[in-house]
């Protein structure tokens, strides 16, 4: 009999599907027989829906309990430590939500004339300048709706600039530590991708880049710090190599929370970067929620930015479209405006010194976790890291315990798992990004849990193979939901 870990902060209530709770004729509210009797003829018959089928019949409390319970099965930054590497699941100050919900922001309509939304345009214009200042870029667009979308727009800008100078180039260089969205953004823009191997120090060498850089290469696309949490030490030299052959430097700025207020991608030689406002500048994300992926460019590339652009004129702020070299629109209207409001609030709240302090704390926290894990887990690049560190399951292999088992064991102990099996160049990776918003005690509890999991791996590995035990459902078939979609009510129960 294998032991179960002791229960932590969890209430297990079996919750069936809403369709299984359904009883014919039950409902949450009753609409008057003819709700439109007093508005004349009411809605024409052809626009009225007849019988509603396929929806569950439940009472209001049943519906409320159902969704509140489901929300409690979930885990979020407001529930506990969420050290999902590369994703920056930092705590989001509630003041951001408050400001974004002010009616003047939340209820404006995108078709309102410029004169009626001067405050919103001023906010966008100022946010562009803050982001430009933080990153060292000359111009910024706020339009893209996520990091990957920003990458797409940024690479499209590089393509447009090359076309403008009549220079047809076909490929983009990407290191083996890259996020999966990087090659996708290049492919969608019609470029092929060539991989650059990082050195045994886990970073790029200028020499290596020089060997593969040629006149057919449009850009080198890198994240600095990279997804191993390591600062690309030769980035200045690498930028020189790429520029000397007429290529552009694209910076995946998703890891800007390791730099902001301390150093600037523009000063490192990047020509284009994207920001992930929902990561670095604190907006709740994951689960498909709205994001925002602004793009910053060097002075040379400003004419190619998407339109419309907010411009300050003598008559106030105006959205202008008269930029003939622009790549055009990449998003309906202006992008996810309320995410911009949150990022603006966050930047104003912290100020320049506050942003730098957040960066220092993020780096300190990652290094503290790395130091505490030393001797407990294999750490392939055990030197000063930036905002995240990578451990592996190498020490647990003989017990047949994998990084995924460790992740499931963490769920039982009240923590969200770190990112597993990424970056793909590290076998059995556990990529940990504690973020600056965690206390020293919380980080120690996290490492204590990892230490306990390691002990369990040595004495009772099956406990981990069967984990998690403290959740409503245990091991899921992670591929089934994607391969066997059930989307309609009448299929429920037929499985």
Ligand X SMILES: *Cc1c(COP(=O)(O)O)cnc(C)c1O
List contacts with ligand X (CB under 6 A): 86-87, 146-148, 179, 181, 223, 227, 252, 254-255, 276, 291, 293
Element (H, E) at 219: strand 217-223
CA atoms within 13 A on the CB side of 114: 17
CB atoms within 10 A of CB 258: 24
Left (φ > 0), alpha (ψ -120 to 50) or beta: where does 284 sit?
A: beta
Q: Compare residues 222 and 456 and give the one whose CB is closer to ligand X.
A: 222
Q: Compare residues 285 and 465 and give the one whose CB is closer to ligand X.
A: 285
Burial classification of residue 372, based on how many CB atoms lie within 10 Å of its CB (0-12 exposed, 13-18 middle, 19 or more buried): middle
Q: Compare residues 144 and 261 and give the one whose CB is closer to ligand X.
A: 144
User: Under DSSP, is residue 408 helix (H, G, I), strand (E, B) or coil?
Assistant: helix
DSSP 325: T
Q: Compare residues 208 and 227 and give the one whose CB is closer to ligand X.
A: 227
Element (H, E) at 248: strand 248-253
Q: Compare residues 177 and 208 and give the one whose CB is closer to ligand X.
A: 177
d(CA 237, CA 241): 6
* Edge-to-edge strand ranges of the sheet holding 419-420: 389-392, 429-432, 419-420
Element (H, E) at 128: helix 118-135
Q: Compare residues 409 and 423 and give the one whose CB is closer to ligand X.
A: 423
| Least Å from the CB of residue 422 to ligand X | 10
Element (H, E) at 310: strand 309-313
| Least Å from the CB of residue 116 to ligand X | 31
| Least Å from the CB of residue 147 to ligand X | 2
| Least Å from the CB of residue 51 to ligand X | 41
Q: Compare residues 18 and 89 and give the one whose CB is closer to ligand X.
A: 89
Q: Where does 81-181 show beta strands of DSSP type E? A: 139-141, 171-175
Burial classification of residue 485, based on how many CB atoms lie within 10 Å of its CB (0-12 exposed, 13-18 middle, 19 or more buried): exposed
Residue nearest to ligand X (CB): 147
Q: Which two tokens stand for residue 107?
A: 């209820």
Q: Compare residues 5 and 85 and give the one whose CB is closer to ligand X.
A: 85
| Least Å from the CB of residue 216 to ligand X | 25
| Least Å from the CB of residue 85 to ligand X | 8
Q: Which two tokens stand for residue 37?
A: 């009797």
Closest to 200 in 3D by CA, of 176, 224, 181, 179:
176
CB atoms within 10 A of CB 14: 6
Q: Compare residues 180 and 493 and give the one whose CB is closer to ligand X.
A: 180
Task: Evaluate whether 145 touches 335 at the Cβ level (below 8 Å).
Answer: yes
| Least Å from the CB of residue 198 to ligand X | 14
| Least Å from the CB of residue 187 to ligand X | 15
| Least Å from the CB of residue 258 to ligand X | 11
| Least Å from the CB of residue 1 to ligand X | 42
Q: Compare residues 298 and 336 and give the one whose CB is closer to ligand X.
A: 336
Q: Compare residues 175 and 291 and give the one whose CB is closer to ligand X.
A: 291
CB atoms within 10 A of CB 78: 10
d(CA 419, CA 461): 21
| Least Å from the CB of residue 186 to ligand X | 13
Give me the phi and psi of 196, to 5 degrees please.
-110, 125
């Amino acid at each position: 009999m294998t032991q179960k870990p002791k229960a932590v902060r969890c209430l297990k209530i079996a919750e069936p599907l809403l369709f299984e709770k359904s009883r014919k004729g039950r409902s949450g509210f009753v609409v008057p027989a003819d709700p439109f009797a007093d508005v004349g003829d009411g809605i024409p018959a052809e626009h009225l829906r007849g019988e509603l089928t396929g929806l569950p019949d439940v009472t209001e409390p049943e519906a409320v309990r159902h969704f509140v319970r489901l929300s409690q099965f979930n885990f979020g930054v407001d529930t506990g430590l969420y050290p999902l590497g590369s994703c920056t699941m930092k705590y989001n100050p509630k003041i951001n939500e408050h400001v974004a919900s002010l009616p003047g922001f939340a209820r404006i309509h995108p078709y309102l004339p410029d004169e009626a939304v001067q405050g919103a345009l001023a906010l966008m214009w100022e946010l562009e300048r803050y982001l430009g200042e933080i990153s060292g870029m000359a111009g910024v667009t706020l339009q893209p709706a996520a990091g990957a979308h920003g990458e797409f727009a940024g690479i499209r800008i590089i393509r447009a600039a090359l076309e403008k100078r009549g220079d047809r180039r076909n490929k983009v260089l990407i290191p083996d530590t890259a996020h999966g969205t990087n090659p996708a953004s290049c492919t969608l823009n019609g470029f092929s991708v060539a991989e650059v191997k990082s050195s045994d120090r886990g970073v790029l060498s200028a020499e290596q880049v020089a060997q593969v850089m040629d006149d057919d290469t449009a850009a080198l696309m890198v994240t600095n710090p990279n997804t191993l949490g390591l600062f690309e030490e030769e980035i200045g030299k690498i930028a020189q190599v790429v520029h000397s052959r007429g290529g552009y430097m694209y910076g995946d700025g998703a890891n800007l929370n390791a730099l902001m207020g301390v150093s600037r991608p523009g000063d490192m030689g990047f020509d284009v970067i994207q920001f992930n406002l929902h990561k670095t500048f604190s907006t709740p994300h994951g689960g498909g929620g709205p994001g925002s992926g602004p793009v910053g460019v060097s002075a040379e590339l400003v004419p190619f930015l998407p339109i419309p652009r907010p411009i300050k004129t003598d008559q106030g702020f105006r959205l202008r479209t008269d930029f003939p070299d622009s790549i055009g629109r990449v998003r309906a209207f202006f992008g996810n405006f309320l995410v911009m409001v949150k990022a603006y609030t966050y930047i104003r709240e912290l100020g320049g010194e506050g942003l730098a302090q957040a960066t220092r704390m993020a780096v300190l926290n990652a290094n503290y976790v790395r130091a505490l894990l030393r001797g407990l887990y294999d750490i392939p690049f055990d030197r000063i890291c930036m905002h995240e560190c990578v451990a592996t399951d190498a020490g647990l292999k003989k017990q047949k315990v994998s990084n995924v088992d460790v992740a499931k064991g963490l769920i039982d102990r009240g923590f969200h798992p770190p990112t597993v099996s990424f970056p793909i160049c590290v076998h059995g990776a556990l990529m940990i990004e504690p973020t600056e918003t965690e206390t020293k005690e919380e980080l120690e509890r996290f490492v204590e849990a990892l230490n306990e999991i390691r002990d369990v791996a040595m004495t009772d590995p099956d406990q981990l193979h069967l984990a998690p035990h403290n959740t409503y459902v245990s091991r899921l078939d992670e591929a089934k939901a994607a391969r066997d979609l059930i989307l309609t009510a009448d299929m429920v129960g037929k499985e």
